[in-house]
Amino acid sequence: MPGAESPGRSSNRGDKIFFGLTAGASGFVIIVVLLVAAFLLIQSVPSIVDDKANFLTSFDWSTDPSDLRFGIAKLLWVTVIISALALLIAVPLAIGIALFITQYAPARLARPVAYTIDLLAAIPSIIYGIWGIRELAPKLTPVQNVLDHLSFIPLFNSGFSTGTIFDGGVVLAVMVLPIVTAISRDVFERTPTAHVEAALALGATKWEMIRMSVLPYGRAGVISGSMLGLGRALGETVAIYLILGTSSNFNFSLFNGGETFASKIANNQAEFGLHPGPYIAAGLVLFVLTFVVNAAARFVVNRRKDFA
């Protein structure tokens, strides 16, 4: 009929509208990230310029405008070591759980286990913090006492009995476990059936098949999941704020208190109205650190097109 649009033309118009909406959503996210980065830079650069101490290597933290001295060395150490400890605990557990669910457990058992692990991600951070400091930390004190025999190693010098970096790392491990497990489970399930059957046909045992086929195929996914979990651990605020005890005497021990970037900002939020610059500078470093970790995770995933 005259004036009627062909189905192809209508479909093309719908594609253009949908493309515009999706492109707009993507652009909006990019703009938000750029605006956050611009805000952090604009607000923190003046304080960094006026800083009388070395911003990267100093352990001082004085926000007095007449004698501005602050550095991120202590915050960076505590943030990195507590996150690394969390990954050291969580990644082997996550790999074991993912292999059990995908390779060993029957379907009627694998599904409830997977759901239970995934539900850990739904627990609010404040619940983890309360549980960590009231229930878990006192029970970890005997473990700290045993490791205290290695006090000749700086990491195991005695310090606090509770509220330590060690306590925070264990709680963070529980918090990042669902992320690493979910991604590991996904990549292990995607192992090509031909690879598995070929290994078994050659006489490989179950473990040998996993070692030669499943683990090599899922390596990139496990690494990317671990780095995403690291990004989650780096930015955790509420749980660490509740668990970690502050310590004025800094050392490199896991059994001492301390502050991460996020908990430092939360602990001193009352000063924001008077001296916000140093805390915004700490937030800028955390923003860059988290961005780099997530970018590295994406790079690892993109190297394995089969995973994508």
| C-alpha distances out from residue 139 to 136, 167, 260, Å | 5, 10, 23
Cα 70–chain centre separation: 26
**pLDDT at res. 8:** 53
**Is the Cβ–Cβ distance between 276 and 43 less than 8 Å?**
yes
Mean pLDDT along residues 76-105: 93
Closest CA to 253 of 171, 174, 160: 160
Tell me: the pLDDT tens digits for 224-238? 889 888 888 888 888
Counting residues of the chain whose pLDDT is more than 90, the rounded percentage is 35
Tell me: the pLDDT tens digits for 30-74? 999 999 999 999 999 998 998 888 888 888 888 887 888 898 999
Tell me: the pLDDT tens digits for 185-244? 998 988 888 888 888 888 888 888 999 989 988 888 898 889 888 888 888 888 999 998
Closest CA to 117 of 93, 87, 86, 84: 93
Q: How many residues make up the chain in this entry?
A: 308
**Is the Cβ–Cβ distance between 167 and 133 less than 8 Å?**
yes
**pLDDT at res. 171:** 94
pLDDT bucket at 25, cuts 50 / 70 / 90: very high
Calpha distance 44→261 (Å, rounded): 14
**Is the Cβ–Cβ distance between 251 and 164 less than 8 Å?**
no
**pLDDT at res. 3:** 53
- Residue 191 makes CB contacts below 8 A (sequence gap 6+) with 213, 214, 217, 218
**pLDDT at res. 303:** 67
**pLDDT at res. 307:** 42
Lowest mean pLDDT among 14-18, 111-115, 300-304: 300-304
